[in-house]
Amino acid sequence: MAVLGAGGGTSSYEEIENTDVILLWGSNARNAHPIFFHHLLKGVHNGARLYAVDPRRSESAQWADVWLGIDVGSDIALANAMAKVIIERGLANTEFVERATTGFEAYARKVAEYDLARATEITGIPSNVIEEMAVAYATADRAQICWTLGITEHHNATDNVLALISLALLTGHVGRYGSGLVPVRGQNNVQGGGDMGALPNKLPGFQDIENDEQRGKFEALYGRPLPAKRGWHLTQMFEAMQAGKLRGLYVIGENPAQSEADSGHTRQALEGLDFLVVQDIFLTRTAEMADVVLPAAADWCEAEGTVTSSERRVQRVRKALEPPGEAKPDTEIISLLAGALGRGWGNPSAEEIWDELRSLSPPHQGMSYQRLEDLGGLQWPCPDDSHPGSQFLHARLWDEVVIDPAPFMPVDWAAPVDRLSDDYPLRMTTGRHLDGYNTGVQSGGFDSPIRIGCTIDVSPEDGERLGLEPDEVVRIGSRRGEIEAPVRIDPGLRPGLTFMALHYPDDVDINELTIEAWDPQSGTAEFKATAIRIDKIAVGVQR
């Protein structure tokens, strides 16, 4: 979303209830974001037409008017072919394109390379369906594109997102009520983390660390210089660890030993560190490897603070429970650490820290705790105390004169890195179960009557071809490792496609299989496209 100026979903949930066409692209929100899906279904019940683009006919896709079962990692070819259709049929919003965007000619030249025949070959989707979706999207009064990790967990994640943004620019489906681009966030504060500057190149409020003026504000308040160069993102850090250039690591609330792709490599890298500190509420697999473990309170119920949702809504979290034992809120641990390092700043309250942040981050300026309390949260940007918060972003693109037009960013399709071959003929993709969450350290804690555990899901056709029975434990191999898991037959999968959920690394570590190939811009690994093989272990072995 950076091309549009700020990293956040452009629309509010309420708007999807009042839109006309929804492209749900690479998202099983029904399972992964159930309450967002409530809003989406209100839209569907209000008459919105829903297209679901997903290799799997997931629970979400089953709600669609039309499901498009594309090949994993072919999204750009589909988006570019749609753009070509839209341009050729004269359905582009030329008035908007001329006034509010730049770079259209180069974009048009690029997408011209994606005729329907080529797109069909790459995606597997017949041309008439691509045309239908393109026309429906372009001719809708209001339209939204919603996506999640099916778009971003690829080696070319940023290009995938750019391809979708370009569709919105081409049709003017952004910056207006009911039209927008909606990346739904996977974790309760991944939006807030980015907003607060937990990115290699950003300071809070999307201010650039390499911009002297913006960095200068922070230096002035802190009374000391800050590094003027962007840092490493996660994948670069692991590369640096492997290269011996990164020797010490302070991990707060992450479990990379299990969550990173190609976990064998990851653990090797962590083991090679001189010094590892883990601050967490659990003794995770990563924490087990640490030199020092700092027990943290669960911020959402044992501490005060704020988190930011996928609709840019900043909301308060509050302390309901005393943390157990010596666990402390993250802010307090960091403050104590600063003191121990001889640079103490006392032990400020969450509100005091927030007020400092507000003084530095323009989009958060108007969000006092009192207002957050009174208004049930506020959506950024909220620049002053009288501002109601922003329901949607980029309304400026509809100004008579657009000061800072949005650039088209033409992108090319590139196949997933992990190629299919005779040895690894099946595509494995990953995702969430309704009752699971990430590596399962939280969601594993309650008794879910619907938990099915880790399975390798295969299509009925592949199940039959390979002679697999439900619950039969099989060996699953990729170019990086091998694991075992029981079989589940899923009619929502097409032949050649398999699926595993990622919540059960203690039972089955699927990241033994996944590939470390990562997106150079975002650092996201390609969890969604692994080439695997499935072998029977022995007749009659059942779990």
Rounded to a whole number of angstroms, the minimum distance from the CB of residue 123 to other proteins is 9
Rounded to whole angstroms, the Cα distance separating 102 from 106 reads 9
Rounded to a whole number of angstroms, the minimum distance from the CB of residue 527 to other proteins is 16
Residue 33 vs 142, nearer CB to other proteins = 33
Between helix 234-242 and helix 263-271 the angle, nearest 10°, is 60
Residue 62 vs 211, nearer CB to other proteins = 62
Strands 305-308 and 313-317: antiparallel
DSSP E strand boundaries for 271-377? 275-280, 292-295, 305-308, 313-317
Rounded to a whole number of angstroms, the minimum distance from the CB of residue 29 to other proteins is 9
Rounded to a whole number of angstroms, the minimum distance from the CB of residue 270 to other proteins is 23
Between helix 75-88 and helix 104-111 the angle, nearest 10°, is 110
Rounded to a whole number of angstroms, the minimum distance from the CB of residue 384 to other proteins is 22
The three-class DSSP label of residue 279 is strand
Residue 307 vs 531, nearer CB to other proteins = 307
Rounded to whole angstroms, the Cα distance separating 210 from 225 reads 12
Rounded to a whole number of angstroms, the minimum distance from the CB of residue 448 to other proteins is 6
Residue 192 vs 523, nearer CB to other proteins = 192
Residue 61 vs 411, nearer CB to other proteins = 61
Specify the amino acid at residue 85.
V
Other beta carbons less than 10 A from residue 45's beta carbon: 9
Nearest CA-CA partner of 406 in 153, 184, 97, 200: 97
Question: How many Cα atoms within 13 Å fall on the side-chain side of residue 117?
Answer: 0
Helix (H) or strand (E) holding 66: strand 66-68
8 Å CB contact between 527 and 263: no
Rounded to whole angstroms, the Cα distance separating 226 from 214 reads 11
Write out 113-149 in H/E/C secondary structure: CCCHHHHHHHHCCCHHHHHHHHHHHHHCCCEEEEECH
Residue 433 vs 480, nearer CB to other proteins = 433
Other beta carbons less than 10 A from residue 317's beta carbon: 18
8 Å CB contact between 411 and 106: no
Tokens of 214: 């913006």
Rounded to a whole number of angstroms, the minimum distance from the CB of residue 322 to other proteins is 5
Residue 71 vs 260, nearer CB to other proteins = 71
Residue 120 vs 179, nearer CB to other proteins = 120
Rounded to a whole number of angstroms, the minimum distance from the CB of residue 452 to other proteins is 12
Rounded to a whole number of angstroms, the minimum distance from the CB of residue 226 to other proteins is 28
Nearest CA-CA partner of 429 in 72, 70, 76, 186: 72
Rounded to a whole number of angstroms, the minimum distance from the CB of residue 436 to other proteins is 8
8 Å CB contact between 303 and 276: no
Residue 103 vs 389, nearer CB to other proteins = 389
Residue 130 vs 169, nearer CB to other proteins = 130
DSSP letter assigned to residue 459:
-
Q: How far is CA 56 from CA 147, 433, 499, 528, in A?
A: 14, 13, 9, 12
Backbone angles phi, psi at 314, to 5 degrees: -85, 125
8 Å CB contact between 363 and 383: yes
Rounded to a whole number of angstroms, the minimum distance from the CB of residue 493 to other proteins is 9
Instruction: Tell how many helices (H) and how many strands (E) occur in the chain.
Output: 21, 21
Residue 282 vs 354, nearer CB to other proteins = 282
Rounded to a whole number of angstroms, the minimum distance from the CB of residue 44 to other proteins is 7
Residue 256 vs 377, nearer CB to other proteins = 377
8 Å CB contact between 528 and 149: yes
